[in-house]
A and B are shown apart, each in its own frame.
Chain A
Amino acid sequence: MTTTAKTADVPAPRQDGDFEGPLLEVRDLHVEFVTRDGVAKAVNGVNYTVGAGETLAVLGESGSGKSVTAQAIMGILDMPPGRIPKGEIFFRGQDMLKMSNEERRRIRGRKIAMIFQDALSSLNPVLSVGYQLGEMFRVHQGLSKKDARARAIELMDRVRIPAAKERVGDYPHQFSGGMRQRIMIAMALALEPDLIIADEPTTALDVTVQAQVMDLLAELQREYNMGLILITHDLGVVADVADKIAVMYAGRIVETAPVHELYKRPAHPYTQGLLDSIPRLDQKGQELYAIKGLPPNLTRIPSGCAFNPRCPKAQDVCRTDVPQLYPVTERDGAELAGRGSACHFWKETIHG
Chain B
Amino acid sequence: MAELDKKDEPARNAVDETPNVTAVNTVEARSEAEAVVALDAPVDRGEPILQVRNLVKHFPLTQGILFKRQVGAVKAVDGISFDLYQGETLGIVGESGCGKSTVAKLLMMLERATAGEVFYKGQDITKLSGRALKAVRRNIQMVFQDPYTSLNPRMTVGDIIGETFEIHPEVAPKGDRRRKVQELLDVVGLNPEYINRYPHQFSGGQRQRIGIARGLALNPEIIICDEPVSALDVSVQAQVINLMEKLQDEFDLSYVFIAHDLSIVRHISDRVGVMYLGKMVEIGSDEEIYDHPTHPYTQALLSAVPVPDPEAREGRERIILSGDVPSPANPPSGCRFRTRCWKAQDKCATEVPLLAVPERFKDTDSPVAHESACHFAEEKDVVHAA
Contacts and interface: CB of A to CB of B under 8 A. Distances in A.
B70 interface: no
A206 B96 contact: yes
A71 to B, nearest CB: 20
Interface string B94-106: 0110000000000
A236 B306 contact: yes
Nearest to A162: B323
A234 to B, nearest CB: 7
B235 A236 contact: no
Binding site secondary structure of chain B? helix
A40 B348 CA distance: 58
B96 A211 contact: no
B23 A211 contact: no
Interface string A271-295: 0011101111101111111111011
A176 B242 contact: no
Q: Would you list the 8 A-B pairs with minimal beta carbon distance, nearest first?
A: A236-B306, A279-B267, A206-B95, A290-B238, A235-B308, A277-B238, A61-B233, A291-B235
A282 to B, nearest CB: 11
A261 to B, nearest CB: 10
A212 B320 contact: yes
B300 A208 contact: yes
A160 to B, nearest CB: 10
Nearest to A310: B235
Given A206-B260, A277-B237, A286 B304 contact: no
B176 to A, nearest CB: 31
Nearest to A260: B310
Contacts of B206: 294
B73 interface: no
B286 interface: yes
A96 B4 CA distance: 70
Interface string B133-165: 000000000000000000000000000000000
Binding site secondary structure of chain A? helix
Interface residues of A, number: 47
Contact of B235 (A237, A259, A277, A286): A277
A37 B311 CA distance: 45
Interface of B: 20, 23-24, 27-28, 31, 95-96, 203-206, 233-239, 241-242, 245, 260, 262-264, 266-267, 286, 300-301, 304-311, 313, 318, 320-322, 324-325
A273 to B, nearest CB: 6
Interface string A210-239: 111011000000000000000001111111
A209 B324 contact: yes
Interface of A: 61-62, 176-179, 206-212, 214-215, 233-240, 259-260, 263-264, 273-275, 277-281, 283-292, 294-295
Contact of B205 (A178, A278, A280, A294): A294
Given A206-B96, A207-B306, A260-B311, 6 more contacts: A209-B324, A211-B304, A240-B306, A263-B309, A294-B206, A295-B233
Contacts of A294: 203, 205-206, 236
A210 B309 CA distance: 17
Nearest to A176: B324
B239 A285 contact: no
17 contacts: A61-B233, A176-B324, A179-B324, A206-B260, A207-B304, A235-B234, A239-B308, A263-B308, A263-B310, A285-B27, A287-B242, A287-B245, A294-B205, A294-B206, A295-B203, A295-B233, A295-B235
A263 B308 CA distance: 8
A277 B234 contact: yes
Nearest to B237: A277
